Amino acid sequence: SLGTIEAYAFQQCPKLKTVITGSIATIENFAFFDCNELEYVEIYGGLEEGKVGDNIFNGCEKLSTVLLGNGSIELGYAMFKGCSALEEITLPESILVIGDSAFDGTSLKTIRIPTDVKEIGKGAFTNCTALAEINVDNKNDYYFSVDGVLYSMELGSLLLCPAGKSGEVAVWEGTETIA
């Protein structure tokens, strides 16, 4: 078990291609920032709420495979921003928070929001032009989706129509606001 990966520990390592770790309690800001050749990340457990730094994998343009172990509960601010090769990710059921700009500029095509996610930050899916649908687990108490469009349970508002959605969008009839 690894306690902490400190801020900037691997920043701009130009030849780093793979990262595999055991359980981690904390990953600090910019830990793998701008590792342009990084393609594969596997993290088992850890990633506790409030202990996930900002911009951890920001700018890792070739990052295409990310495996997060159950026990990870937060995706920090801009965690995968600019990871343009990232087309899919399976979020573990333990995730509670998806931070602001977490997936900004990725190439995600679809994403499933797990049951216990209680917060999706602003701009979490900004510039995700390939994202065609967001699917929320039916047991989630905070969010739901209809035809791949993300809604807030509490506010009854349409939060996000994915940028890659094509065809017709029928707004859910209980919608009070469009954010």
Main-chain dihedrals φ then ψ at residue 132, nearest 5 degrees: -100, -25
pLDDT in tens, 63-87: 999 998 887 788 999 999 999 999 9
* pLDDT at position 23: 77
Q: What CA–CA distance (Å, rounded) separates 53 from 6?
A: 9
Where do we find the tokens 């495979």?
A: 65
Q: CB–CB of 34/61 below 8 Å?
A: no
Beta bridge partners of 133: 110
Residue 91, C-beta contacts closer than 8 angstroms, at least 6 positions apart: 68, 75, 98, 111, 112, 113, 114, 117
Q: What is the largest CA-CA distance in the chain?
A: 51
State percent of the chain over pLDDT 70: 96
pLDDT in tens, 110-130: 999 999 999 999 999 999 999
